[in-house]
Structure 1
Amino acid sequence: MAASLILRRRVSSAGVSRTLRGLAGNMEPFCLHLELKVGALVNFSDKTRQYSSSSGTTSFDFLDLTSPHTWYPKARSKPRKVILHMGPTNSGKTHNALKRLESSPSGIYCGPLRLLAWEVAKRLNKAKVPCDLLTGQETEEVDGAKHKAVTVEMADVTSNYHCAVIDEIQMLGCRNRGFSFTRALLGISADELHLCGDAAAIPLIQKMLKVTSDQVEVQFYERLSPLVPMKVPLGSFSNIRTGDCIVTFSRREIYRLKKQKPKAKRLASNTTLTSLLSQKTRHYL
């Protein structure tokens, strides 16, 4: 079986790649969060089931899955302030959280998509805040960086941060990826933890954080611009206007539309094409 390949880049704060090397079989980023320090868990013995062996000694039962918040002693060692930024799309909730991240001495952004992590890393580096990028496919390390932008599965729960942002927190309820958002929510050790997403997730989040004794604050946002569906279909690409966005779901389709764009008489020059592509492919288009 071929080993998976993770690309690691070393870049300056200006985003210039210095080195590129393949890392095969390096599972360190995935294993760090599995480190359990028994000494740090002593304070949570009342929440950890204990059992006695035949010799009469007492041990911790690490097979107990009923108290997952005790798996992250570093996060439990400090009182966290958790701010929920709840609202619809285009309401400014994530923008406010990222501004706080940008002004913090250290921090981490956890997003559901590689593109979002890439955009946040680019934004912070452009603002002269060195920021590493870490996804399941690649790593870009910036000299002197104390900030990270990662896909949520790559969240580091072994380090301390001044500020952390988890985007699209409502994905706690996702059947396939909910565990990653749960791990980030319970495990990230940050003075301030900002959660951005849909208000439907508030009851679940509040219930989960009752056992962590975190301070929870909820901020609600309203959509900044109205979303009004068209009463008639577009009909043709020739009817596309300036500022329109075309969404596709395959590489083949987006390249076909890219070739078709010049043929549409009224197709605006700044129309955006987007699909389920990597950030580099989107940048190329």
Structure 2
Amino acid sequence: MASLLLCRRKVASLGVSRVVYDNGHPFPLNVERGLGSLVGACNLLRTYGSRSSTAKIDFTDLTCPHTWYPIARRKNRKVILHVGPTNSGKTYQALKRLELSASGIYCGPLRLLAWEVAKRLNKAKVPCDLITGQEREEVVGAKHKSVTVEMADVTSNYSCAVVDEIQMVGCRSRGFSFTRALLGISADELHLCGDPAAVRLIQEILEVTGDNIEVQYYERLSPLVPVQKPLGSFHNIEQGDCIVTFSRRGIYKLKRGIENAGKHLCSVVYGSLPPETRTRQVWFPRCF
């Protein structure tokens, strides 16, 4: 015990801030002095107190997130907001720009959307990688990527980038991923597709980036006409109808009921399906 106390006194006199014990043998860990080299490479350096030479890094300062993406900040990005209701052509116009660009990235909220865009670009003879949290399909020579928004690459430069459903920047659970893509993607043109309600929020977020912002509004291409009477029984559904329910058990119950009626075949899609199975289910009705 005496030797241990003596050891603690010695390391304290050397300015050592902590002693780490491994297998009963103490060895000093000089946090304060060793921190200098780390601080030299860190732009978040803050010195606390005029009498102390101890430097500390403030990892809790989240007030300037746009500074976390220096590659994007070096670009004078042109940001185009395509806003309008469903079936207004806003995403179509953005994807046409992506298809014509020398390099680009599409960021979508769903794996199926990322898969659909990758398939579309590859079919148009534009090699495109598919990257999601569950799968990665790389195409030789590809300079385009189609990804789920969480997989957005903020370390590369692109001619064009598309972020779909940008209004999800306000989502409590996934909004951080859309904010990261909005601030961090380094592209000459950044196309944002979504609801008009998000325009003011996007403009406020981008006030500090110096980007040029243009807003394009779209109108619905075909009218949305509600039926005058309820569907009634599921026996009255027609080919091409989509039924939405809120549990996996409910999905399969509806599928069995529809197919047992003998009029239609029914595919199922939900989040936890494996990627290959989900893709086959999407194409399943088109094979008949």
Q: Aligning the two structures, in what range does the TM-score lie when normalised by the shorter sequence?
A: 0.7 to 0.9
| Aligned counterparts of 1:60 and 1:128: Cα–Cα separation in 2 | 49
Q: 1:248 touches 1:274 (CA, 8 Å); kept in 2?
A: no
Name the structure where helix makes up a greater proportion of residues.
Answer: 2
2:62 match: 65
1:95 match: 92
| Aligned counterparts of 1:187 and 1:209: Cα–Cα separation in 2 | 11
| Aligned counterparts of 1:174 and 1:130: Cα–Cα separation in 2 | 32
Q: 2:44 touches 2:57 (CA, 8 Å); kept in 1?
A: yes
Matches within 5 A, 1:65-144: 65-144=62-141
2:270 match: 276
Matched, 1:204 2:171: no
Look up the equivalent residue of 1:111 and give its one-letter code.
G
Q: 1:165 touches 1:196 (CA, 8 Å); kept in 2?
A: yes
Matched, 1:52 2:40: no
How many residues align? The count is 238
| Aligned counterparts of 1:75 and 1:223: Cα–Cα separation in 2 | 33
Classify 1:102/1:84 alpha carbon distance in 2 versus 1 (closer, same or farther; 3 Å).
Answer: same
Q: 1:152 touches 1:184 (CA, 8 Å); kept in 2?
A: yes
Q: Which deviations, in whole Å up to 9, do the C-alpha atoms of 1:168-212 show, x marking residues without a partner?
A: 000011001111100100000000000000010111100111100
Matches within 5 A, 1:174-213: 174-213=171-210
1:29 match: none
Look up the equivalent residue of 1:87 and give its one-letter code.
G
Q: 2:114 touches 2:130 (CA, 8 Å); kept in 1?
A: yes
Classify 1:57/1:73 alpha carbon distance in 2 versus 1 (closer, same or farther; 3 Å).
Answer: farther
Q: Which deviations, in whole Å up to 9, do the C-alpha atoms of 1:229-265 show, x marking residues without a partner?
A: 2232111222222432223444444444444444436
- Cα displacement (A) at 1:155: 0.5
- Cα displacement (A) at 1:127: 1.0
Worse-matched range after superposition: 225-234 or 92-101: 225-234
Q: Which deviations, in whole Å up to 9, do the C-alpha atoms of 1:20-63 show, x marking residues without a partner?
A: xxxxxxxxxxxxxxxxxx98x9xxxxxx7653366779998554
Q: Which runs of 5+ in 2 are unaligned?
A: 1-39
| Aligned counterparts of 2:259 and 2:135: Cα–Cα separation in 1 | 34
TM-score by length of 2: 0.74
Q: Which deviations, in whole Å up to 9, do the C-alpha atoms of 1:84-123 show, x marking residues without a partner?
A: 0000111110011011101111100111111111111111
| Aligned counterparts of 2:141 and 2:168: Cα–Cα separation in 1 | 32
| Aligned counterparts of 1:188 and 1:234: Cα–Cα separation in 2 | 45
Look up the equivalent residue of 2:208 and give its one-letter code.
V
* Largest Rg, 1 or 2: 2
Q: 1:245 touches 1:273 (CA, 8 Å); kept in 2?
A: no
1:160 match: 157
When the two chains are superposed, the root-mean-square deviation of aligned CA atoms in Å is 2.6
Name the SS for the 2:220 alignment partner.
Answer: coil
Q: 2:235 touches 2:258 (CA, 8 Å); kept in 1?
A: no
Higher relative contact order (CA 8 A, sep 6+): 1
| Aligned counterparts of 1:256 and 1:52: Cα–Cα separation in 2 | 63
Q: Which deviations, in whole Å up to 9, do the C-alpha atoms of 1:130-178 show, x marking residues without a partner?
A: 1111111111111111111111111010000000000000001100111
Name the SS for the 1:109 alignment partner.
Answer: strand
Q: 1:164 touches 1:192 (CA, 8 Å); kept in 2?
A: yes
Identical counterparts, % of pairs = 70
Q: Which runs of 5+ in 1 are unaligned?
A: 1-37, 42-47
Classify 1:144/1:59 alpha carbon distance in 2 versus 1 (closer, same or farther; 3 Å).
Answer: farther
Q: 2:255 touches 2:268 (CA, 8 Å); kept in 1?
A: no
Q: 1:72 touches 1:186 (CA, 8 Å); kept in 2?
A: yes
